[in-house]
Amino acid sequence: MVPVLCIGRRSRVSVYNSTREKGIKGEKAAIEHLRREGYKIIVTNFRTRMGEIDIIAKDGDVIVFVEVKSALSPRFGNPVGWVTKRKQMRIIRVSQAYMMGTCTGQCPVRYDVIGIDTNGGIQHIKDAFRPRGDFFM
């Protein structure tokens, strides 16, 4: 068998792995940030068939659903701006599934976004978005 050397192209697998690794590091940094701020981490990577929520935490009596975005390069802009309306709707739907299984009665909730930049800086946007109309729990 003759060895083959590929120069100048990164495989999809290596790009995926580096992106995933950056995401995992970003989520760990976000968890540490939240703990320093006094939040209690309830669950990470909560998944349903509708999607995933990176972190679910408690801030006092409020259940906080946190989306974490990590930048691979400064040229992509502010990671907080990457949470589109479509992504917000998905997070809200997944949060409703979580709440149906855990909350009885009225439970205050909040949706935060944490952005991790390429230098490891953390930007925490509390109450980054809210459900509207028929999305209210």
Label residue 79 by pLDDT band (50, 70, 90): low
pLDDT tens digits, 25-75: 889 999 999 999 999 999 999 999 999 999 999 999 999 999 999 876 555
pLDDT tens digits, 102-124: 887 788 999 999 998 878 789 99
Q: Which of 29, 102, 105, 103 is nearest to 66 (CA)?
A: 29
108 or 79: which leads in pLDDT = 108
Q: Is pLDDT above 90 for 125?
A: yes
Q: Is pLDDT above 50 for 100?
A: yes
pLDDT at 31: 97
> Rounded to an integer, what distance in angstroms lies between the CA atom of residue 108 and that of residue 92?
13
CB 118 within 8 A of CB 69: no
**Single-letter code of the amino acid located at 59:** D
pTM value surpassing 0.85:
no
Beta strands in the chain, from DSSP E residues, in sequence order: 40-48, 51-59, 62-70, 109-116, 122-129
CB 44 within 8 A of CB 29: no
CATH level 3 topology of 12-135:
Trna Endonuclease; Chain: A, domain 1 (3.40.1350)
The conformational region for residue 133 under phi > 0 = left, psi -120 to 50 = alpha, else beta, is left
> Rounded to an integer, what distance in angstroms lies between the CA atom of residue 130 and that of residue 14?
36
What residue spans define the domains of the chain? Answer: 12-135
